[in-house]
Structure 1
């Protein structure tokens, strides 16, 4: 079966990554678009901040992703770029919320397309440890060595992240040495994409969504990337008819022209429990 040609058939797309994310995008972009995704060489994405915090993040997720994509395109000399940015927050007690953002930039067409996801990570957040045994117990519980860990040591107000530990023996010995030197020690999951299978799965899913979206043309101007851009709130209360904060419709739009469509959700009325008038 011949794959339909798209705006990106035979094109090279640069993924701004140093952690193997291009591999997560490769199949989806090849199958849906006929495009090739490769990583930018010589790019240090840690300069925009790290999960362990030794380099602080100063940009918003979208700004960081955009800046990374543009730098990757510059280094590779391509007009098409991808980049992702992930954050983890502990809003659900011991559970971590993973917010992922994937950006695609087409300098030629002036497109900036964003896809995002929110998932609950199966990997808990970090914790203070007081013994090598606690480090090993935590690591094994989250799936080490498949799921990586980071030891974060602090002494005299100086914090250091110890990464790329792949063996239990090395993990135990490193923890023991740091504790013996009276470092305060925290063990963290390593959320970098090549060290976190659950995060890699979230990024791969976003790449599939992005590839399908880029294969969808705008009905008006034929630009690639027509897809979901917003939601419309205001679903009326089933009891009093007042507009609520529930979603009434999905908005799909073009990244190049102003064309958009509105698709109502299946529900025509909202539960009164979510109505500010009936349930203030």
Structure 2
């Protein structure tokens, strides 16, 4: 354990919603590093899922700012931050983007692990009755899975720390009383401590990051050698033209230009993915 580059390191996870607990296992088991949450950190200032504070930064930029603030408050050169976004452009499906960023101020490293997946939770929807709120809550697994109620003339009345059916009934009744005829929107609460499916994604990214930090570059020996991109262009099995199917994974170093191309197992793509054969 003592030969690992981050053995005994103290890593600040910039969070106020318990994310440090999600990274503690992977970082200690793989790296021998401890992960803590800085005290006095307000990550809501960079935007909230409930909409009181609008997000103005890209996910990566927000993670950078959070991580560096957490490092400053915890007085450590190592930082972590994650940023999640959820969109329901497909109507009934919710796409979950999650970014986990690690900063090593001593080595000048800034590494990102990210994923895009379909959330198991339904999108937000307008409701008009207490019964509709209870039906939605039951479907998403409330109260273990949190939810958000938003009402008022401009959606300015927000309830997001509800933890029982009684609290939900009371909050919904208040919104119906104070904003008659106005739409009330109910949605999942995506904060990590109220959303088990998002927490699981962050754990997976933390495991990936820990393994990456345990992997040195073959050229400069800096930790953090890992996947940095993909290469599309797998040839069509019928016409041989390049398709948009992934042909290889690209691994790289965060410190030097060294990269490694690893071809995927498939050597050809089905014609259905070929723009020439199937325009």
- TM-score, length of structure 2 as denominator length: 0.96
Aligned twin of 1:229: 228
1:92-131 mapped onto 2 (5 Å cutoff): 92-131=90-129
Aligned twin of 1:178: 175
Aligned mates of 2:94, 2:115 — CA distance in 1: 14
From the superposition, tell whether residues 234 and 4 of structure 1 become closer, same or farther in structure 2 (CA, over 3 Å).
farther
Contact 1:54 1:160 in 2 (8 A): no
Runs of at least 5 residues in structure 2 that lack an aligned partner in the other structure: none
Q: Residue 156 of structure 2: SS of its match in structure 1?
A: strand
Aligned mates of 1:272, 1:149 — CA distance in 2: 44
Q: CA shift at 1:158, angstroms?
A: 5.3
Aligned twin of 2:148: 150
> Which digits, 9 at most, give the CA deviation of each residue in 1:197-216, with x for residues without a partner?
11111111111111111111
Contact 2:97 2:114 in 1 (8 A): yes
Aligned twin of 1:167: 164
Aligned twin of 1:246: 245
Aligned mates of 1:163, 1:249 — CA distance in 2: 43
The root-mean-square deviation of aligned C-alpha atoms, in Å, is 1.3
Aligned twin of 2:58: 60
- TM-score, length of structure 1 as denominator length: 0.95
1:31-70 mapped onto 2 (5 Å cutoff): 31-70=29-68
Contact 2:251 2:261 in 1 (8 A): yes
Aligned twin of 1:271: 270
> Which digits, 9 at most, give the CA deviation of each residue in 1:243-273, with x for residues without a partner?
2221111110000001111111111112222
Q: How many residues align?
A: 277
Q: Residue 87 of structure 2: SS of its match in structure 1?
A: strand
Contact 2:226 2:252 in 1 (8 A): yes
Aligned twin of 1:85: 83
Which residue, out of 69, 72, 95, partners 2:70? 72
1:7-46 mapped onto 2 (5 Å cutoff): 7-46=5-44
> Bigger CA drift: 58-67 or 85-94?
85-94
Aligned mates of 2:18, 2:3 — CA distance in 1: 27
Aligned mates of 2:148, 2:133 — CA distance in 1: 10
Aligned twin of 1:217: 216
Aligned twin of 1:198: 197
> Which digits, 9 at most, give the CA deviation of each residue in 1:120-154, with x for residues without a partner?
21111111111112111211221111001111112
Aligned twin of 2:187: 188
Q: CA shift at 1:93, angstroms?
A: 3.3
Deviating runs (4+, > 3 A) in structure 1? none
Q: CA shift at 1:231, angstroms?
A: 0.7
Aligned mates of 2:169, 2:203 — CA distance in 1: 32
Contact 1:5 1:33 in 2 (8 A): no
